[in-house]
Amino acid sequence: MNPTSTHFIRRLRERDSEAWFELWENFGPILRAQLQRWGSGRIGWETAQDLSQETLAALAQAIDKHDPSRGARFSTWLFSIARYTLGDEIDRRMAIKRGQGVRPLALDQALDAPSDGIQPDRAYEQQIFDAKIQAALRAVERQVGLEDFEIFRQRVLEGRSGLEVAEELGLSPSAVSRGLTKVRDRLREHLSAVFARYSFTPEEDAELERNGLSSNPNKEWNPTFDQALSEIYARLTSRS
């Protein structure tokens, strides 16, 4: 695990409220959707909302026992804890129906238990990847001016031409170009930080490069960066 991930884990262990809010803001919606899907109609939206919060509470218990040497992906780690939380709720409900008590498996035991065949699928991994991109975009939007981010949104995320953006915003083409460069540079910095924070394995570290989104500021910009971002943005907006 890289030093940035280790530092973030340490913040979680120290119960840093900002770190926990950040985790919830970025991945809470994915956990809610995943829990509803696993529930197969047995749980509603409100229950999924409660369980997604319980998932992070369970993560708080597990964080002190997290062993980076196991080599689990960040996404797999979240997935395992979410499955444990849902299973615990279903076991509890079934026990109430039978009028019996239930002693759920301890979380650390559940994480070490053999898989029941349910594994993170491609759609889930895609959502986790996209959520990391969205976290970086959110951070940049908060940092740069509204005008500069609007230039970037229209020019890159929506794929409009520089002249169209200049006319729409009443700016010169050179102003559009400067704003675009500023946001791209900031975004590369934030992409690097976000993926370092939420990547527990070398495979996850390499996801940006593999998807045409190199965050290395020393690398020359190329159109695949913008194209990849626009495709991710389209997926994100289609889910909202």
Tell me what the mean pLDDT of segment 74-87 comes to.
77
Q: How remote is the C-alpha of 34 from its chain's centroid? A: 13
pTM (2 d.p.): 0.79
What class is the 3-120 domain?
mainly alpha
pLDDT of residue 114: 42
In this structure, which CATH number among 2.30.30, 1.10.10, 3.30.70, 1.20.1440 belongs to the domain 123-239? Answer: 1.10.10
pLDDT of residue 56: 72
Q: Is the pLDDT of residue 218 over 60?
A: no
Domain ranges of the chain: 3-120, 123-239
* Average pLDDT for the chain: 80
pLDDT of residue 99: 55
Same CATH topology for 3-120 and 123-239: the answer is no
Percent of the chain residues past pLDDT 90, beyond the cut: 35
pLDDT of residue 12: 82
**Residue 229, by phi and psi: left (phi above 0), alpha (psi -120 to 50) or beta?**
alpha
Give per-residue pLDDT as tens, 189-200. Answer: 999 999 989 888
Tell me what the mean pLDDT of segment 124-128 comes to.
91
The beta strand positions in the chain, using DSSP E, are none
Q: Is the pLDDT of residue 144 over 70?
A: yes
Give per-residue pLDDT as tens, 5-46. Answer: 878 878 888 888 898 888 888 988 888 777 777 666 666 777
Q: Which of 2-6, 92-96, 206-210, 213-217 has the lowest mean pLDDT?
A: 92-96
CA distance 178 to 195: 26
Residue type for position 124: Y
